[in-house]
Structure 1
Amino acid sequence: MENPDEDTEWNDILRKKGILPPKVSVVEKPPPSPPDPKSLLEKLTADELEEKLNLAEDGGLDEEDAKFLEEYRRKRLAKLQEEASLAKFGQVREISKSDWKNEVSGAGDAYVVIHVAQRGHLLCNIVDTHLIELARKFPAVKFLRGESALCIPDYPERNLPSLLIYQAGDLKHQLIGPEAVGGKSITSKGLEWRLAQMGVLKSKLTEDPTKRIQISTITGRSTNRLGRRDYLSDESDDSDD
């Protein structure tokens, strides 16, 4: 018996007559594209990368792969050196009035954030705590602290806390007073967001974290008002009895 799937003239006639079903064409899938060597290398640990480099030096890789690997190592090393050169601060240092100019102008292109504060001031103490955390997290930014009475005599207390932000010796931004830094509900992430919006640091935050706090506060107040109305309603019903 003739195979109906074969490509014969007779089978073609039968297909045209509708006696045989149309031949199902087999679509060949294109071969998968080779993986990007760069993406593969980026997944390697430092030890694995060193192992491959040693293999290249011993002649265990072809010339093209060895050249690519060496070029990748060179670029990766340059990037690590650049990051290390930027990460040269990492803490909040106390300064005096006489230090101010040198600390600001001696930072090169790095951003300098000076917290004008006062010991014993509640909100200044909170900002101090948050800046210590941010200084560790963003060591490429120079964080400083100066007592208002020593650095800027007669500085109004209503302006505390203040954040003065410099770059290349110039004053770029200022956050003056409680509301500017985030108010009583200020958080480390809220302060990070504010500084990121000014371009002072590169944050991974994708939205203002203080929005969630505001929504939560509003919801809480609404619930309290609703509870108060319910209480008054119940009290009124009891008095009617």
Structure 2
Amino acid sequence: MNNDPKISVQVNPDEDTEWNDILRAHGVIPEKPPSPTQQLEEALDEAVKKQYENRLENKDLEELNELEDEEDEEFLNFYKQKRFNEIKKLSEKKKFGSIIPISKNEYEDEVTKASKDSYVIVHLSLQSNLQSRLLNSLLQELSKKFPELKICEIPAQRCIENYPETNCPTLIIYHNENVLKQYITLTQLGGNSTTLKDLEKVLVDLGAINENDKRLVINDEDEDLQESRRLRFAKKSIRNNDQDDDDDDDDFYD
């Protein structure tokens, strides 16, 4: 006769009881999963902590120097050294600073192969085209502002035989020997109203310029001057729409 009958006991493993704690400690029932509220609170705490730890991440040297009386010296020096290293690395890349005219025979070396080490921007140009002259002007500004970018220019039909004039200007952006982006005319960038900021946005999106780069904030032209330029090019577009300046084009490049 069995004198040790076993009694089945129903246990709710989700309950917070002392008995359940004992069972969990002995592996009889699984550990209670954390509540969604608890997980959310922990995630928020971690986000706040990370934000505080990285509060100096996007500050430049001048802003860091202003915090000397507010921040821990060792912590502040870490970010200062980081900024120094970034400035040094950037200065080593600053080797262009102007538009580089190239020929068809130079294209592979000056553009495709060169894009292994830097971002390369190519303008397939047509001097008689209004938008091409506008783009050339903007690329001149861009080259001075971001001299680490290699910007090349070649007359479209000298690069590709019988290249349609209606495709000019063509803007091509290379990196790691690949074409990242191509624009046929400035239609997608803003047409005759395209600005330096439009080009900068494209380059930020492609990773050619860091979105936190302070140079993006510094504009060489105020809004009134940009509007004046936009109107000037718009008037020229209407006036020269039907004119053919191929001879001028040859004089310009020869």
In the superposition, the TM-score normalised over structure 1's length comes to 0.53
Shift of 1:110: 1.4
Distance in 2, matches of 1:127 and 1:74, equals: 38
Shift of 1:175: 0.8
Shift of 1:42: 6.0
Asked if 1 retains the 8 angstrom alpha-carbon contact of 2:103 and 2:159, the reply is yes
**Aligned match of 1:92:** 99
**Aligned match of 2:181:** 173
Matched, 1:102 2:113: no
Distance in 2, matches of 1:134 and 1:70, equals: 32
Task: Pick closer, same or farther for the CA change 1:68–1:176 going to 2, 3 Å.
Answer: closer
Asked if 2 retains the 8 angstrom alpha-carbon contact of 1:117 and 1:148, the reply is yes
Distance in 1, matches of 2:206 and 2:85, equals: 28
Give me the identity figure in percent: 32
Distance in 1, matches of 2:63 and 2:120, equals: 33
**Aligned match of 1:136:** 144
Matched, 1:145 2:147: no
**Aligned match of 2:231:** none
Deviates more, 1:125-134 or 1:99-108: 99-108
Shift of 1:134: 0.9
Deviation track 1:145-176 (CA, whole Å, cap 9, x = no partner) reads: 11112111111111111111110111111011
In the superposition, the TM-score normalised over structure 2's length comes to 0.51
Deviates more, 1:165-174 or 1:71-80: 71-80
**Aligned match of 1:218:** none
Distance in 2, matches of 1:173 and 1:75, equals: 31
Q: What secondary structure, in the 3-state scheme, does the structure 2 residue paired with 1:106 have?
A: helix
**Gapped regions of structure 2 (runs ≥ 5):** 1-54, 218-222, 228-254
**Aligned match of 1:80:** 87
Asked if 2 retains the 8 angstrom alpha-carbon contact of 1:164 and 1:175, the reply is yes
Asked if 2 retains the 8 angstrom alpha-carbon contact of 1:182 and 1:191, the reply is no
Shift of 1:72: 7.2
**Gapped regions of structure 1 (runs ≥ 5):** 1-35, 50-64, 214-241
**Aligned match of 2:164:** 156
Point out the structure with max Rg over C-alpha.
1
Task: Pick closer, same or farther for the CA change 1:74–1:187 going to 2, 3 Å.
Answer: closer
Task: Pick closer, same or farther for the CA change 1:132–1:73 going to 2, 3 Å.
Answer: same
Distance in 1, matches of 2:76 and 2:194, equals: 47
Number of residue-to-residue matches in the alignment: 154
Asked if 2 retains the 8 angstrom alpha-carbon contact of 1:161 and 1:181, the reply is no
Task: Pick closer, same or farther for the CA change 1:88–1:119 going to 2, 3 Å.
Answer: same
Task: Pick closer, same or farther for the CA change 1:181–1:161 going to 2, 3 Å.
Answer: farther
Matched, 1:126 2:131: no
Distance in 1, matches of 2:208 and 2:84, equals: 25
